């Protein structure tokens, strides 16, 4: 992970091997309950006290039952103490039966933990349109007992995966009012990834003390710059969400947008979300390379986002990166159809260290060296300067490969 | 071609083996001038008299020099008599040099044909960012002499191709004022195909007599329902256009929107454009299947288009069709993120003859039979009824295959 993460603020420290249970008062684990054939498929997360909760959800109009249930719970008290997640079946497009299964799953975990039902968030990911095997889930939940002894965040990280090839985690620490605040996170998702919450689940924990309303503002702002700036295939799923829990164990003065160190907390949160977003993009189905597109000089941040997403979403750019072909024509075409305001006579484009377009025209570069850059690096950077204003944005994605086709042509068989 | 075309109006007759030179007074041919290694790369089209011209162009903001030159010519007199097209190099992102090359190419062909320069349309398709080899083009154009003897529309059809695997043509006839009117067409394009004119060229000829302004209206309306409803990879190119020439040789009363048979002419034109659009989608890079998505019950035609394009553009739907997997969950997800107004509790989806969603929920069907349908058919149909209103749209695309990745990972090498 750290190879693709840059430290921007020296006051923020990356915790090696840190996770969602590094912040004080969080426990997590995962087990196999039988939805999948062999792999872990049921994960749980627990806070010693009800944590202030913020959540962002998919914009897909078909929202799956677990989302409806989780949303309802958070709206009741803005607090969550436990999270139960299954992978393998998404419990989406499952009608009334699916909704009552989601409620049932929440109730089972609440009873097992001896907490109120509305303090439990429920989440499911996997195939759409199948009902959950409730007997298996019930039996799995009944195995969750001694949270201290069973605590193993790496098992939670594994239990939420579908077609991911590696589990994802990150953890940072910073000082607020002289107290150490820790922020940890994990996420899953590698197909159906696109701006606005795709087949993606993100769970972020912190022991910070944060004012409820401001926690939601913080999460929304940061998600817009991170998770919503990745795309694997342009598809947006029915199930997905990022949940942020702050359980107040760090014992500093309450953070709010008025606190002098609010910005530091925001940067720590952004670092966690950016790292997870990049890990997801890097693990895009079939991907061999992470692509990072940085756009500047746009007439607005919205325009910068349009251009960045247009480039990162282009199947032709993605296949060119896979083919290690410095085919800048496809980049310029993607900029041209982005819909953003352009200044064609001033446009500048770089592929890694190589300027390929200057003042809107091809700029001489060594094809051999550019090809070498594409061959030798796992992270490919594309920069575009539109010379229209001060708007900036960064987006992440991955190459489009034979394996993407293979994985998705045979997902259910 | 005819296997994928249905006759809607009995007054319209498909001309077997008809082409752009079936309408009276048109001649066309193609030759090899050396831009490509072996294949034909220079095509020409000529009308015995200046033809009334209508044209629609790419919406990509980086418009290539040939487009600028053609647009300028048409704007001068709304007439075109000759068309010169090269494939292999797109003459896009080529700056002032590219612009003067496009003018030069126009001038060379005008001189060769002994017509005014502004009566010549110029078109280029292929790799972006390289300059045209003008000596080769000059030498090629000098070989175009006896248009009657050299007339061979199949060579024109071949000379405009890039990664296409077959040439495309269609021709229909209908009666206007008791006179036979013929409409012929050809097109190219198989990658960078997306709504709003992608790497796509379309040339349509007719001997009809049509009022200038109404010819442009007719073309725009028909293109919106046909060429702008196909997508191969979501990328929109810098070069592309559909040119319609009407050379008045059929000698009936001038057609205009007030003529009683205007609708018949429009239907003939739509049939030609729809057939070409479907041929392009079928020949999508690496495609093994043509996908047709029909949406009805949308709250508006715009919404119906959004849903149809969302489904046809989904990489996950495309790979599922390639994998012959009746994975309707991906169809419903694509409908959900289309942005159209939905009525989730009434949604109905069919995959070929199989209802897979009824009232928004999975409807029991035989997976084995549905798989058999996907395996046995080259044209896969998806129907969605949104139950929100009367809006309808149809879109066409293709599956996403290993060969798409192969073709685009190695296009320039």
> Domain A2-282's class?
alpha beta
Contact A349, A362 (CB under 8 A): no
Token pair for A363: 């700029």
- Closest among A142, A116, A113 to A46, alpha carbons compared: A113
Name the β-bridge partners of B124. Answer: B86
The pLDDT tens digits of the residues spanning B4-52 come to 455 567 899 999 999 999 999 999 999 999 999 999 999 999 999 999 9
Q: Exactly one of A163, A199, A231, A238 is catalytic; which is it?
A: A199
The pLDDT tens digits of the residues spanning A362-393 come to 899 999 999 999 999 999 999 999 999 999 99
Q: Do B336 and A236 touch (CB under 8 A)?
A: yes
Sort out which chain A residues have CB atoms less than 8 A from B328's CB and list them: 129
Sort out which chain B residues have CB atoms less than 8 A from A362's CB and list them: 93-94, 129
Looking at this predicted complex, what is its ipTM? Answer: 0.75
Sort out which chain B residues have CB atoms less than 8 A from A409's CB and list them: 319-320, 322-323, 325
d(CA A282, CA A276): 10
Q: Do A413 and B329 touch (CB under 8 A)?
A: no
d(CA B113, CA B47): 10
The pLDDT tens digits of the residues spanning B137-173 come to 999 999 998 999 999 999 999 999 988 889 999 999 9
Distance from CA of residue B231 to its chain's centroid? 10
Sort out which chain A residues have CB atoms less than 8 A from B236's CB and list them: 333, 336-337
Distances (CA, A) of B48 to A33, B114, B248: 77, 12, 10
DSSP three-state, residue B50: strand
φ/ψ of A42, rounded to 5, equals -140, 120
Q: Do B405 and A410 touch (CB under 8 A)?
A: no
Run of H or E residues at B69:
helix B65-77
The pLDDT tens digits of the residues spanning A328-361 come to 888 988 898 888 999 888 999 999 999 999 998 8
Distances (CA, A) of B379 to A66, B3, B22, B186, B398: 37, 10, 28, 21, 9
Which residue of A lies nearest to B192 if distances are taken between CA atoms? A316
Q: Do A336 and B191 touch (CB under 8 A)?
A: no
Distances (CA, A) of B103 to B75, B109, B117, B120, B121: 15, 10, 9, 10, 10
> Within 13 Å of residue A320, how many CA atoms lie on the same side as its CB?
25
Å between A141 CA and nearest CA of chain B: 27
d(CA A181, CA A207): 6
Å between A191 CA and nearest CA of chain B: 9
> Domain B2-281's class?
alpha beta
Which segments of A are annotated as binding site for substrate? 162, 188, 199, 285, 408, 413
d(CA B91, CA A361): 12
Domain edges within chain B: 2-281, 290-409
Instruction: Count A/B contacts: CB-CB distance under 8 Å.
Output: 186
Sort out which chain A residues have CB atoms less than 8 A from B237's CB and list them: 333
Contact B407, B163 (CB under 8 A): yes
From the list A313, A314, A325, which residue is nearest B413 (CB)? A325
**Residue found by looking up tokens 């969605």 in the block:** B384
d(CA A148, CA A152): 9
Q: Which of A324-328, B79-83, B238-242 has the lowest mean pLDDT?
A: B238-242
CB atoms within 10 A of CB A296: 20
B251: left (phi over 0), alpha (psi -120 to 50) or beta: left
Contact A29, A155 (CB under 8 A): yes
Which residue of A lies nearest to B321 if distances are taken between CA atoms? A409
**Residue found by looking up tokens 């949406």 in the block:** B295
Which segments of B are annotated as binding site for substrate? 162, 188, 199, 285, 408, 413
d(CA A87, CA A150): 19
Q: Do A235 and B327 touch (CB under 8 A)?
A: no
Q: What is the CA radius of gyration of chain B?
A: 22
d(CA B172, CA B29): 20
Report the CATH number of the B290-409 domain: 3.10.20.340
Q: pLDDT per position in chain A (413 positions), as tens?
A: 333 455 567 899 999 999 999 999 999 999 999 999 999 999 999 999 999 999 998 777 788 899 999 999 999 999 999 999 999 998 988 899 999 999 999 999 999 999 999 999 999 998 888 899 999 999 999 999 899 999 999 999 999 998 888 999 999 999 999 999 999 999 998 665 554 444 789 999 999 999 999 999 999 999 989 988 887 665 555 667 899 999 999 999 999 999 999 999 999 999 999 999 999 988 888 889 999 999 999 999 999 999 999 999 888 899 999 999 998 888 988 898 888 999 888 999 999 999 999 998 889 999 999 999 999 999 999 999 999 999 999 999 999 988 888 888 875 54
Q: Do B234 and A314 touch (CB under 8 A)?
A: yes
Q: Do B235 and A330 touch (CB under 8 A)?
A: yes
Sort out which chain A residues have CB atoms less than 8 A from B90's CB and list them: 329
DSSP three-state, residue B12: coil
φ/ψ of B194, rounded to 5, equals -160, 160
Which residue of B lies nearest to A92 if distances are taken between CA atoms? B329
Give the dihedral of Cα atoms B373, B375, B376, B382; nearest 10 deg. 40
Strand A179-188 and strand A26-31: the pairing is: unpaired
d(CA B331, CA A406): 19
Catalytically annotated residues of B: 199
Q: Do A400 and B401 touch (CB under 8 A)?
A: no
H helix and E strand count, chain A: 11, 16
d(CA B125, CA B39): 14
Å between A207 CA and nearest CA of chain B: 35
């Amino acid at each position: 992970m750290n190879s693709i993460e840059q430290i921007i603020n020296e006051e923020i420290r990356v915790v090696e091997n840190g996770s969602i249970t590094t912040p004080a008062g969080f426990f997590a684990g995962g087990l196999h309950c039988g939805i999948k054939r062999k792999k872990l498929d049921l994960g749980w997360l627990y806070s010693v006290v009800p944590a202030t909760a913020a959540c962002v959800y998919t914009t897909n109009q078909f929202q799956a039952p677990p989302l409806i249930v989780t949303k309802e719970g958070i709206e009741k008290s803005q607090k969550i103490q436990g999270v139960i997640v299954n992978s393998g079946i998404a419990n989406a497009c499952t009608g009334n039966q699916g909704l009552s299964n989601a409620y049932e799953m929440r109730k089972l975990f609440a009873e097992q933990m001896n907490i109120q039902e509305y303090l439990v968030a429920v989440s499911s990911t996997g195939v759409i349109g199948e009902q959950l095997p409730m007997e298996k889930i019930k039996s799995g939940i009944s195995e969750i007992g001694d949270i201290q002894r069973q605590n193993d965040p790496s098992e939670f990280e594994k239990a939420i995966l579908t077609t991911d090839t590696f589990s994802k985690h990150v953890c940072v620490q910073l000082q607020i009012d002289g107290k150490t605040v820790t922020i940890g996170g994990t996420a899953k998702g590698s197909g159906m990834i696109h701006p606005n919450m795709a087949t993606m689940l993100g769970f972020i924990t912190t022991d910070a003390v944060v004012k409820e309303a401001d926690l939601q503002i913080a999460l929304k702002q940061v998600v817009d710059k991170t998770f919503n700036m990745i795309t694997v295939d342009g598809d947006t799923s029915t199930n997905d969400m990022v949940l942020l829990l702050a359980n107040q164990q760090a014992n500093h003065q309450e953070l709010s947008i008025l606190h002098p160190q609010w910005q530091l907390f925001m940067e720590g949160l952004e670092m966690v979300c950016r790292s997870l977003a990049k890990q997801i993009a890097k693990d895009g189905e079939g991907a061999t390379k992470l692509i990072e597109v940085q756009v500047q000089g746009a007439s607005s941040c919205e325009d910068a986002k349009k251009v960045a997403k247009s480039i990162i979403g282009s199947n032709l750019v993605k296949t060119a990166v896979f083919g290690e072909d410095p085919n800048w024509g496809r980049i310029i075409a993607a900029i041209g159809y982005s819909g953003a305001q352009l200044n064609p006579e001033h446009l500048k484009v770089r592929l890694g260290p190589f300027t390929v377009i200057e003042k809107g025209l091809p700029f001489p570069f060594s094809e051999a060296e550019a090809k070498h850059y594409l061959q030798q690096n796992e992270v490919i950077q594309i920069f575009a300067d539109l010379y229209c204003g001060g708007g900036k944005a960064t987006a992440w994605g991955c190459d489009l490969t034979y394996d993407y086709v293979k994985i998705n042509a045979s997902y259910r068989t």
